[in-house]
């Protein structure tokens, strides 16, 4: 066997067998540790230099057999990394190396995922505290992660577009994502004929942020009024009826502030999903705070119009919503008005094509689960390989078993 382990080219030998045989760990036999020993030699490859000759039972540079690496990858797909490490009797970091070798063997040409892309979604997700992000590209048609990179922003997304061939770029027709300017800039620069869509989830999230800002502002104002009333009317002896009226007024002001403070879920949830207690709290707000009620109505109107399937009707409703918001006299919603107006066509494109980032959000949940099962990753490449493995249609064969049609 004088083949290069990387390019599998038949080559002349460089030296004779090593003095001590190399050992590969194999899959256990009924709990008994199994190892393979073989005296290897080296070959000279014009492309890869002087390397150890290829052996059919192991991947290049691995101290484990192929069956062992594949078994570790299969277990890691479903189990926490600590459990895999204990069961297979290997180190924590070795699990990640086994996954990377298996993935490279199962899918040596990962760039094939980029062929024939039509509808794609772009998003970033954090994998560690301290603003540590990875950027994801998901194929909407196959629900498969086709590209992952460390970091986020325009410079990272440019790497994806610059790695595409002209044919791959021309096949992309629709791109979904949040309202990030760097996504829009890349879409306009590299695929100017592509339709840009802003995910409805993020649009409602913008409205929720504006509503929460109004809620906090109204709570601070109600709290200040209660505090001012308490300071101006300290409790004194005598005239019990007057003191009772003052105490009742202070209590009413405090109750109003408390109702506003605890109304986050009542204001954020859809009316049909409110509990009885949340509905009562919402009714109290409607009776006592007209500005907060107006902000809530604006949020709900935007949420409902995004569910309209007729793009012409949606455009009409959005135009009415923009007019209403611009005259709302609520600073937070006036800022939201500018943002929605800037993304108006992208929002209408979302309704027109019926696409959203819901699949990407589901993929983000899978990634969070991957990270939680592994208790974090020290090696970012191991984490991205795990994302490619789990968030795709790659199927891992187990030793001496036929590959099932679907897992």
Domains of the chain: 111-199+356-376 (3.30.420.10), 200-353 (no CATH)
Q: Is the pLDDT of residue 124 over 70?
A: yes
SS3 helix, strand, coil % of the chain, rounded to 5? Answer: 55, 15, 30
Higher pLDDT: 278 or 405? It is 278
Q: Nearest to residue 189, comparing CAs of 157, 153, 152, 167?
A: 157
pTM of this structure: 0.78
pLDDT band at 338 (very low <50, low <70, confident <90, very high): very high
pLDDT at 233: 66
Number of H helices, E strands in the chain: 16, 9
Average pLDDT over the chain, rounded to an integer: 84
Q: Is the pLDDT of residue 241 over 80?
A: no
pLDDT band at 246 (very low <50, low <70, confident <90, very high): low
Question: CA 190, 158, 186, 139 torsion: positive or negative?
Answer: positive
């Amino acid at each position: 066997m004088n083949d290069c382990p990387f390019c599998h080219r038949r080559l002349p030998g460089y030296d004779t067998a090593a003095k001590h045989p190399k050992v590969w760990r194999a899959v256990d036999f009924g709990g008994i540790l199994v190892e393979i020993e073989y005296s290897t030699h080296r070959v000279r490859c014009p492309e890869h230099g002087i390397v150890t000759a290829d052996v059919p039972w192991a991947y290049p540079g691995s101290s484990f057999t192929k069956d062992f690496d594949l078994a570790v990858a299969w277990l890691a797909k479903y189990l926490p990394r600590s459990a895999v490490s204990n069961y297979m009797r290997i180190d924590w970091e070795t699990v990640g190396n086994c996954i990377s070798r298996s993935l490279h063997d199962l899918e040596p040409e990962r760039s094939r995922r980029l062929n024939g892309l039509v509808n794609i979604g772009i998003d970033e997700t954090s994998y560690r505290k301290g603003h540590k992000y990875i950027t994801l590209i998901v194929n909407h048609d196959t629900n498969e992660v086709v590209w992952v990179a460390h970091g986020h922003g325009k410079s990272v997304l440019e790497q994806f577009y610059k790695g595409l061939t002209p044919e791959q770029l021309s096949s992309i027709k629709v791109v979904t994502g949040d309202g990030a300017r760097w996504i829009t800039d890349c879409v306009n620069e590299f695929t100017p004929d592509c339709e840009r869509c802003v995910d409805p989830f993020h649009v409602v999230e913008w409205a929720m942020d504006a509503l929460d800002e109004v809620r906090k502002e109204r709570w601070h104002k109600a709290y200040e009024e209660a505090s001012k009333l308490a300071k101006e009317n300290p409790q004194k002896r005598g005239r019990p009826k007057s003191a009772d009226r003052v105490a009742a007024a202070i209590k009413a002001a405090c109750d109003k502030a408390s109702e506003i403070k605890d109304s986050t879920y009542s204001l954020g949830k859809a009316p049909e999903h409110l509990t009885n207690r949340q509905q009562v709290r919402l009714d109290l707000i409607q009776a006592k705070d007209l500005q907060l009620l107006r902000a809530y109505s604006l949020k709900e109107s935007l949420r409902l119009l995004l569910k309209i399937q007729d793009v012409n009707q949606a455009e009409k409703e959005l135009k009415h919503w923009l007019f209403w918001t611009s005259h709302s006299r609520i600073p937070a919603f006036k800022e939201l008005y500018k943002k929605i107006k800037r993304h108006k066509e992208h929002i209408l494109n979302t309704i027109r094509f019926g696409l959203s980032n819901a699949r990407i959000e589901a993929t983000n949940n899978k990634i969070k689960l991957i990270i939680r099962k592994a208790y974090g990753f020290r090696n970012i490449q191991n984490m991205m390989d795990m994302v490619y493995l789990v968030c795709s249609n790659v199927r891992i064969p187990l030793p001496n078993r036929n590959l099932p049609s679907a897992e």
